[in-house]
Chain A
Amino acid sequence: EVVLTQSPDFQSVTPKEKVTITCRASQSIGSSLHWYQQKPDQSPKLLIKFASQSFSGVPSRFSGSGSGTDFTLTINSLEAEDAATYYCHQSSSLPQTFGQGTKLEIK
């Protein structure tokens, strides 16, 4: 099973700040890494697919990069509505697995 480890677990940030969340895989997964945003009491929403491809309708301030075992989600010029928990997910091998989540708090 591929284990995904995100860092940090929690981050408190101010609006307009640039945020970077990392996800490290326990083995190489190519670019089969995806990012989701989950706001309180909502279901997760796909943000980035295959490491760097933006999903339809996602604001351009969200971007992703990486391959192999190390991946990054970047949020440029953070907005208040970006307060959420962010999860990475790998689809390289079964079982599908998720990272433990990174909670972003807006100051």
Chain B
Amino acid sequence: QVQLQDSGPGLVKPSQTLSLTCTVSGGSISSGAYYWSWIRQHPGKGLEWIGYSYHSGSTYYSPSLKSRVTISVDTSKNQFSLKLTSVTAADTAVYYCARYVTGNFDLWGRGTLVTVSS
């Protein structure tokens, strides 16, 4: 079955760029009407949608993060990625990759804790 595996640095310095990758295994990232998504969860808090991308490149972002976020899909590697620029301590969170289909997030990665600290 399809699985998502997120990866990336667990520590990022303030003002730098957070970069995470999610690898899709067991299926093609180009198949179906899926949007490939990132969601984050601040420590002890609820879930915050960051945005998602279709494999063709169409993207949708949360207005609160739009100026700093890029989500892209690499079909040759069956991966999608998140870049968040100019990070601060407020961006410290667990970042989840997830698959979005017809209204809901039906498959999630395990999550990566990213701490922003010098």
Contact = CB atoms under 8 A, between A and B. Distances in A.
A34 interface: yes
Contact of A34 (B49, B103, B110): B103
A12 to B, nearest CB: 18
Given A32-B103, A34-B103, A43 B49 contact: no
A32 B111 CA distance: 25
Nearest to A6: B46
B108 A101 contact: no
A91 B103 contact: yes
Interface string A1-29: 10000000000000000000000000000
Given A43-B110, A87-B46, A100-B46, A95 B62 contact: yes
A54 to B, nearest CB: 12
A46 B105 contact: yes
B105 A44 contact: yes
B32 interface: no
Interface residues of A, number: 23
B118 interface: no
Q: Interface extent on B, as a size class? A: 10 to 19
Contacts of A42: 110
Majority secondary structure, A binding face:
loop
Given A94-B60, A95-B62, A95-B63, A44 B103 contact: no
B96 interface: yes
Contact of B96 (A43, A96, A101): A43
B74 interface: no
Interface string A34-74: 10100000111110011000010000000000000000000
Contacts of A50: 103-104
A89 B103 CA distance: 9
B46 A99 contact: yes
B33 to A, nearest CB: 13
A45 B48 contact: no
A97 interface: yes
Interface of A: 1, 32, 34, 36, 42-46, 49-50, 55, 87, 89, 91, 94-101
